[in-house]
Amino acid sequence: MISLRGVRKTYASPAGPVEAVAGVSFDIKEGEFVSILGPSGCGKSTLLMMLAGLEHASAGTIEVAGEPLTGPRRDAGLVFQDATLLPWLSARDNVLFPIKMMRLEREKYVARAEELLRSVGLGDFMDKRPRELSGGMRQRVALCRSLIHEPSIMLMDEPFSALDAITRDEMALVLLDLWARHRKTGVFITHSIREAVLLSDRVLVMTRRPAVVVADVAIPFARPRDESIQDTPEFNAIVAQLRGMIEHSIKAAA
């Protein structure tokens, strides 16, 4: 379990301190998939970096399994908006990159890397370099890379935002499938309400900067899920409810 209590983050900037996150408290249970929705620039990435141990909270505490988080956690798998693959490595070697950086034994992970790539439909592309892959394929490689070292949590910062609409829908299903297989704890930042509802057990709604959590909505669909839930009235009702909350929070802050 991950617990955030009164977490704040203030950046120093030439124009004075910028308060990005203003007192956020919530818990994420083991194996839970949580999405975070919020307006642009509200502090979502900052929150994710704090969860990864890459930024220190200015105030408040973040605890992982009862222990305060003090530095980078190796058991997190990170996915960014851009795939950030190394251009000179093959898909396979990009997936194995964390193993190299963590100074683990490569040979023990090659089979797992190939298995991951096959599971996202890249079995025939393992030797291809990033420039030979489409944007969606590159992001699939990045998803595999985030799972190679068997992390206990996946932290994803708008991983599909740079993709076109069709690829994006496809990627949500790839992630749904990948998550069903691996069952990591997941934190997923997105601007897409439908994506959040499809993938998550819970959706958190944040306000404008400085961010606080204004809503914590449980998504009741059973797992394993598939794309068909998107056509149900329940799905659309939750989407509409969340959209209302977001509009309200933006108006309230303005």
Partner 1 sequence: MSDMALPATPNQPRLSLAGHWVSQILLPVAFAAVVLGLWEGLVRWYQVPEVILPPPSVIGARIVSAWPFLLQHSLPTAIEATVGFLIAAAFGIVLSVVLVYSRWAYVALYPNVVFFQLIPKIALAPLFIVWLGIGSSSRLAFSVFIAFFPVVISTLTGLNSTPPDMLRLCKALTAKSWQVFLSVRFPYALPHIFSGLKVAVTFAIIGVIVGEFITAQAGLGYLVLFASSQAETPLILAAIAMLCVVGLVLYGIVAGAERLILKRYGH
Ligand X SMILES: Nc1ncnc2c1ncn2[C@@H]1O[C@H](COP(=O)(O)OP(=O)(O)OP(=O)(O)O)[C@@H](O)[C@H]1O
Does 108 interact with partner 1 (rule: CB under 8 A)? no
User: Near ligand X by CB under 6 A, which window of 35-43, 86-94, 96-104, 192-200?
Assistant: 35-43
Rule CB under 8 A: is residue 86 a binding residue for partner 1? yes
CA distance 127 to 122: 10
* Residue 8 binds ligand X, judged by CB under 6 A: no
Q: How far is 89 from 225, CA to CA, in rounded Å?
A: 34
Which tokens go with 254? Answer: 């303005």
Q: What is the DSSP letter of 98?
A: H
Rounded Cα gap, residues 144 and 150, in angstroms: 10
Q: What are residue 7's DSSP bridge partners? A: 24
Three-state SS for 227? Answer: helix
Q: How far is the CB of 158 from partner 1 (least distance, A)?
A: 11
Return the one option of ligand X, partner 1, Mg ion, none that residue 11 interacts with (CB less than 5 to 8 A, by type): ligand X
Determine, following the binding rule CB under 6 A, whether residue 17 of this chain makes contact with ligand X.
Answer: no
Measured from the CB of residue 155, what is the shortest distance to partner 1 in angstroms? 9
- Alpha-carbon distance of 182 to 230, in angstroms, equals 22
The contact pattern for ligand X, residues 177-216, with x = CB under 6 A and - = no contact, is: --------------------------------x-------
Q: Which stretch binds partner 1 (CB under 8 A): 52-60, 119-127, 132-140, 222-230?
A: 52-60
Min dist CB 40 to Mg ion, Å, is 8
Asked if 122 and 90 count as a contact pair (C-beta separation under 8 A), the reply is no
- Asked if residues 204 and 169 have their Cβ atoms less than 8 Å apart, the reply is no
Q: Which of 42, 154, 174, 217 binds ligand X (CB under 6 A)?
A: 42
Query: Given the complex with ligand X, which of 93 and 157 has the nearer CB atom?
Result: 157
How far, in Å, CA of 45 to CA of 24, rounded? 14
Q: Which of 10, 45, 58, 230 binds ligand X (CB under 6 A)?
A: 45
Pairing of strands 67-68, 185-190: unpaired
- DSSP characters over 42-76: SSHHHHHHHHTTSS--SEEEEEETTEEP-S--TTE
Residues forming contacts to Mg ion in the complex (CB under 5 A) are 45
Q: Which positions lie near partner 1, rule CB under 8 A? A: 49, 52-54, 72-74, 76, 78, 80-82, 84, 86-88, 97-98, 100-103, 131, 149
> Which residues would be at the binding site for ligand X (CB under 6 A)?
11, 13, 18, 20, 38, 40-46, 209
